Amino acid sequence: MRLDHDGPLAIITIDSPPLNLFDEALVAALGYAVASVAGSDARGLLLRAEGRAVSAGVDVNVFADLTPEAAALVWRKWFEMIHALEDLPIPTVFAAHGLCLTAAFEVSLACDLLLAAESARFGLVEIVVGLTPSMGGPQRLAERAGPARARELVYTGELYGAATLERWNVVNRVLPDEGFADAAREFALQLASGPTRAHAATKAIIREQIEVGTGGADEITPEISGRLFATEDLRNAVASFLRDGPGKATYTGR
C-alpha cells in the first residue's frame, strides 16, 4: 500500500502482486492509509491499484477454520475501514483498470465515484465459497442500482463489464483503456482542486437523503450551506469571481 500526494490530491495505490488479494494485512494497511489521508490537508482522494488486475478478491486462506463468532469479528474490523473511507469529508474516486472482484469491488462502492476502463470487469463472486459479500457490497449496490440489480449481481456471481454497470448507475464513467491511469488522475485532481468544504456539504446532504429521505436532507441543508459562508473557499471564490469573471474562481482554503 502506497500513499502519495499530487498537490491537493492524495493517491492510495494497492500494490500487492501478483493479484492484490485482500487479507488482514492489506485491509489494515488500507485502513492506515485512509486514516493518514483523514489527518492530512488532502482535498481529494484517488484509490487505484497496480498490476494487471485491481484485485482478484479476498485470499480464501482468511476463511479457513473461522468460527461464526470469529468471522463476525473479521467483518466488523473490515467495516471500520469501509466506514472510515466513506466518512472522509473530501471527494473520493476509485479507478478500476481491470478485473475488480469481491472486497476490491466493495471498497470501490464505498468511494463517492467509480471510474472504469473499458475493459474493466467487476464481480461479487462469493457464492463460489458459499458466502454472501460481507463488506457492504449488496447494500451499496442497492443504493446505486436498486435492490433487484443488486440481487442479480450477487446471486449469479457473474462478471459484469464496465459498460453494463455504467448503465446500471454503479459505474460513474467509462474511460478508454489507453491513458486510463492519467485520465483518472486528472479527473480526481480536478475534484481535489475544487471547493473542499462545499464538497463535504454535498456529501453530508446526499448521505442524509439516503438514510432519512429528501425531507431530512432539506432540513439540514440551510445550516450546512450557511456554514460555507465562513470558509476561505467561498470567500476566495466569490472575490475571484467578482474580480476575474466567471470560470476563474479559485479555492485555496478548507
CATH number for the domain spanning 30: value is 3.90.226.10
Beta strand extents in the chain (DSSP E only):
2-6, 9-14, 44-49, 53-55, 92-96, 99-101, 113-117, 121-123, 160-161, 173-175
Quick check: 146 pLDDT over 80?
Answer: yes
For 63-75, the pLDDT digits (tens) are 999 999 999 999 9
On whether residue 139 sits in a domain, the answer given is yes
Average pLDDT, the chain: 96
Instruction: State whether 182 and 150 are in the same domain.
Output: yes
Q: Are residues 183 and 216 in the same domain?
A: no
**215 and 169 within one domain:** no
Grid cell 483518472 in the structure block, residue: 184
Q: Is the peptide bond before 18 cis (omega within 30 degrees of 0)?
A: yes
Cell numbers given for 106: 466493495
Residue 250, in any domain of the structure? no
- Using one digit for the tens of pLDDT, what is the confidence trace for 171-210? 999 999 999 999 999 999 999 999 999 999 999 999 999 9
Q: How far is CA 61 from CA 33, 141, 149, 214, in A?
A: 24, 26, 30, 43
Tally the domains of the chain: 2
Name the residue range of residue 51's domain: 2-192
- Dmax (CA) of the chain: 66
Residue-wise pLDDT for 156-167, tens only, equals 999 999 999 999
Domain stop point among 152, 169, 192: 192
How many residues in total does the chain contain? 254
Pair 55, 100 in one domain: yes
Same-domain check for residues 168 and 204: no
Is the same domain home to 210 and 121?
Answer: no
213 and 128 both lie in a single domain: no
Q: Are residues 184 and 204 in the same domain?
A: no
Task: Tell me how far apart the alpha carbons of residues 254 and 251 are, in angstroms, rounded to a whole number.
Answer: 8
| Pair (225, 145) in one structural domain | no
